[in-house]
Amino acid sequence: MDNQIVISSSSSSGPVDPDKPSPLLSLPDELLDIICGKVHVAKLSPICRRLYPFQQKRLYERITIRSYPALASLCATVHNSDFIGTLVISLQLGFVSWAAPNMTATDGRLCQTVSSDEFYDLIRRLSSLRTFTVKDIDTDLLDVFLWNTEAPLDLPRLDRLSFSTERVGGLDQGDWVRNLARSPRLTSLEIKLHAQNSPLPSMPSMPSPLPQLASLRVLELAGADLGGWVGPALAVIAPHVVDLRVREHRAPPAYERILRQAPTGLRRLTLCSPLANVSAARPGVLLDQVLPRFGRLQHLTLSQHSFTPSHLAPYLASLASLRVLGFGWASSPTDDLLLDLLKGPHRLQHLRGLELNHVEGIRGPSINESAPVPLDAETAVKQFEFAWSAPVWPVGCTEDGLEAALAAASDAGVEVTGSAVGAVGWDEAYQQERHKRQRVWLRHGRDVILIYQVTSGY
């Protein structure tokens, strides 16, 4: 809905009678607020005095900024009107990563359009802010929020904080914990670092006890060397976290140290390594002795080398509340393990979802018989090879075993999702597509013999 529709619906076809205003304007504030919430407000075009406050509220309550000049404009607007600052509920700052290949020196200097003092003044005035998302902001500005010790910011209504950056600055005296603790309603915290550093600043010694992030329930960490973090136990800083999601840039990830210090009341634990490859385990990766700390899990996702298949089944069977189980890329949920969990002695009676992403078979698009074909065999083969990638099965995992597990899951009423499902039948689909392409190429007089010889090894 746009402003013109509202204008039309709030005006009569004849002359305006001030004694008989539009029925729209007689609606209660609650309904007018909902109606204005459906109006596209990329630009604030006043309709009338009655509706303007609702338009203004909707315009400023959720703000997305993608450039430093736009951030400077917001700083100036809020500085000139404290009232506008109180309208902002959600603020998303999404900038270009300094590591981006197309970044230039000029782009890097754009952050100078907003000073640390201006950014501090902006955040200070956002007294109603509930969601604060920051992506790739200049670290000097991020430090204003995390490391300010002279005049810490108070965001009493902040519920969700998410930020990503190249590095986390500041000293190792726990100031970031103290500053975050000034937001008593903070329930979700997400920290992502692009560089090869831990998302948690090292805190080897504290001059004084740290306050607790008592309201924090969801904690998501992404970075490198999480297993080497030195600092107070997570159970001390955030004792009430029930949802812990950890993403390690190194492969394979080592989570042992951080999990030994995590709260034991977790309901959800997600271990992820998007860059994992089939490589040897390293110290701190295997979690057979650590996982039993968490006996209340309802949702568990495991990463590469984090478990021994023969040891995992008894532990999982002890989780009376487990509803969703996941296995990440390059992990090894062996054929025997899956059958044991779905129909064997350690069957998970209450399991409702099984997420299998340990293997992937990429299927390219099917050729369109009416589409143009490559001019030569070499180009045709390269296009085909690029679009199709055969699954690489981890040790102990086979296609036949996965098919048996899928059948057992169906009998048990367990929904199976994930990339591994698409790996079943990949060879047959590949052969069918190859033969289909040969027929199309033959119809156009292409060198099918050469193409067949090149692709016959797949």
Place of tokens 């050729």: 367
pLDDT in tens, the chain (458 residues): 444 444 444 444 445 555 666 666 667 767 766 666 666 555 556 666 666 676 677 778 899 999 889 999 999 999 999 999 999 999 999 886 444 434 443 444 445 589 999 999 999 999 999 999 998 888 788 888 888 888 889 999 999 999 887 766 555 567 888 889 999 999 999 988 876 666 676 666 666 788 899 999 999 988 877 777 777 789 999 999 999 999 887 666 778 888 999 999 999 999 988 665 545 566 667 899 999 999 999 999 998 888 999 899 999 999 999 999 999 988 999 999 999 999 999 999 999 999 999 999 999 888 776 666 666 667 777 778 888 999 999 999 999 999 999 999 999 999 999 999 999 999 999 999 888 877 777 776 655 555 555 444 43
Eight-class DSSP state of 385: H
Interior/surface letters 382-401, b for 16+ CB within 10 angstroms, e for the rest: eebeeebeebebbeebebeb
Distance CA 378, CA 364 (A): 18
Q: Which amino acid is at 47?
A: I
Q: What is the model's pTM?
A: 0.82
Contact indicator for 208, 232 with CB cutoff of 8 Å: no
Place of tokens 């057992």: 408
CA 345 to chain centre: 36
Neighbours of 320 (CB within 10 A): 12
Distance CA 447, CA 442 (A): 7
The tokens for 60 are 């400023």
Strand-pair category, 90-94 with 131-135:
parallel
Instruction: Single out the residue of 134, 170, 128 nearest to residue 152, CA to CA.
Output: 170
252 cis-preceded (ω within 30 degrees of 0): yes
Query: 423 Cβ partners below 8 Å, 6+ apart?
Result: 359, 360, 361, 391, 393, 399, 402
